Amino acid sequence: MPIATAERLITFEEYLNYDDGTDNRYELVDGELVQMSLPTFLHVLIADFINDAFKAEIKRQNLPYISLREVGARTGIRKSRITDVCVATKKQVAEMLKESAVFDMPPLLAVEVVSPESVTRDYRYKRSEYTVLGIPEYWIVDPFEAKISVLLLEEGLYEETVFTGKQRIVSPTFPELSLTVEQVLAYGNNLHVKTDTIPKKG
């Protein structure tokens, strides 16, 4: 479970400049620093696979996007979350090059990979906070339930579609992406699977 480390409420600006001299990662939750647990290798592999797939699709279509790992998103006055994978426009990133890697405007897409300790955080808290921030597309990748939920923002609320097995994941951000749930989850369990197994169009 995340560990609350702050003895007093801190501002978002203090969070951006916080450095305790360690490599610990923190989210800001209602003014408190919350240390994030180390991810499992399964978690890391799946997130890396998705990030690589997004990068390949961006390159293939020459899209003005950037896919990033573990960047922040400000979700409230005293709240900031760390995404597993985040897709933003090049313009968004260019405007923040010399700033801390925390978006204060909604990126195009956020992905969270569920870990045993993050179920409530990913399905409930981040879903609510990403709605308020206005992230148009949010993926919840759940290797334990063998499914990927794609949530699309419609009139201020997320509409959810659940994909499983050999179903192709439908993404408005990447409408030509050819990627199945099976491919994503297999990468976390089979180190011989590579991103070049993703079918390419064109």
Which of 2-6, 36-40, 78-82 has the highest average model confidence (pLDDT)? 78-82
Residues 23-42 have a mean pLDDT of 88
Q: Does residue 7 belong to any structural domain of this protein?
A: no
CB atoms within 10 A of CB 133: 22
Sign of the CA dihedral with 51 first, then 54, 60, and 66 last: negative
Does 191 score more than 70 pLDDT? Answer: no
Does 162 score more than 80 pLDDT? Answer: yes
Does 104 score more than 60 pLDDT? Answer: yes
Domain total in the chain: 1
Q: Does residue 43 belong to any structural domain of this protein?
A: yes
Q: Does residue 185 belong to any structural domain of this protein?
A: yes
**Considering the chain, what percentage of its residues have pLDDT values greater than 90?**
68
Q: Does residue 19 belong to any structural domain of this protein?
A: no
pLDDT value at residue 158: 97
Q: Does residue 141 belong to any structural domain of this protein?
A: yes
pLDDT, mean over the chain: 89
In this prediction the pTM is: 0.86
Q: Return the residue matching tokens 């794609």.
A: 150
Does 192 score more than 90 pLDDT? Answer: no
Does 65 score more than 70 pLDDT? Answer: yes
Rounded CA separation 104/38 (Å): 25
Rounded CA separation 91/97 (Å): 10
| 154-164 core/surface letters (b: 16 or more CB in 10 A; e: else) | eeeebeeeebe
User: In which domain, by residue range, is 80 found?
Assistant: 39-197
Residues 88-111 have a mean pLDDT of 94
